[in-house]
Amino acid sequence: MRLAAATWPEVSEYLKTKNSLIVPIGSTEQHGPTGLIGTDYLSADAVAREAGERLKILVSPPLSYGVSSHHMGFPGSATIRPSVYQAVLADLFRGFYGHGFRRFYVVNGHGGNEASVRAAFQELKHEGHSGATFQLLDWWKLPEVSKLANELYGNEEGSHATPTELSLTFHLENIERREYQPVPEPPSSAWPLTSDEMRRSFVTGTMRSNPALARGSHGPRILEAAVQGLVTVIGNSPVLE
């Protein structure tokens, strides 16, 4: 149930019996030499849309840019500064709240967004917004997804340009596999990083991951695990009256 494909009378009708909204967010940033620049928002949008269908909940258009400063040393990456990202999210939620939405599920595809999303939630509650609930759902951290990622990729999953997110987006974009030769990475790194520090430390843009393991044919299982995870969490989420 896509908000983008609904009309305002349909949304008005929906709000007579429901007040939930799923909001997919991600980023536009490099995902190693074989991963798609849109990986984080494409994946979040795909899992959010399917979960929305099953739960009969409206899904907003994805916010396809995120907090990606550390990736700016790689061509094609784009970023929004954390304070602005927080402000953009808070404005979107203020508007949706005004229409009568109360239960907000942010399905996130990018770890760098987390702090700003939580700060936006806090800001909204600081202002009031009585009856609203906000949940941040990082799709790749759902237990169903972690279990499958461990089964498929073990300790080569890593934390950026992971075979899990690449497999899902390869599936979405009809790619089966791409060759990748892992390169040495520093044993540890401080966080957060500037774009220069990131580019020096992680020269191909991957982080602890082995994207050579990604397969488009794994995508449907990963999508299904994420959707099941979201359906479970959203189906059991707390309600404020």
Binding site for Ni ion (CB under 5 A): 39-40, 165
From the CB of 67, what's the least distance to Ni ion, in Å? Answer: 12
Our CB check for Ni ion shows the closer of 8 and 191 to be 191
Residue whose CB is less far from Ni ion, 40 or 144: 40
Of 94 and 178, CB closest to Ni ion: 178
Nearest distance from C-beta of residue 1 to Ni ion, angstroms? 25
Query: Residue by residue, what is the 3-state secondary structure of 54-75?
Result: HHCCEECCCECCCCCHHHCCCC
Strand 20-25, strand 58-59: pairing: parallel
Nearest CB to Ni ion, comparing residues 19 and 68: 68
Provide the minimum distance between the beta carbon of 179 and Ni ion in the complex, in angstroms, as a whole number: 20
* Minimum CB distance to Ni ion smaller for 21 or for 148: 148
Give me the least distance between CB of 12 and Ni ion, in Å please.
36
Angstrom CA distances, 125 to 84, 107, 119, stand at 18, 19, 10
User: Could you tell me the smallest distance in angstroms from the CB atom of residue 140 to Ni ion?
Assistant: 8
Can you say how many angstroms the Cα of residue 182 is from the centroid of all Cα atoms in its chain?
25
Residue closest to Ni ion, measured at CB: 40
Assess contact for 45 and 62: CB atoms under 8 A.
yes
Separation between Cα atoms, residue 174 and residue 165, nearest integer Å: 14
Sheet order of strands, 58-59 included:
58-59, 20-25, 103-108, 133-138
Contacts of 7 by beta carbon, 8 Å cutoff, 6+ apart: none
48 closest CA partner among 163, 145, 139, 168: 139
CB of 83 to Ni ion, least distance (A): 22
Is 24 or 97 the residue whose CB approaches Ni ion more closely?
24
140 closest CA partner among 73, 40, 218:
40
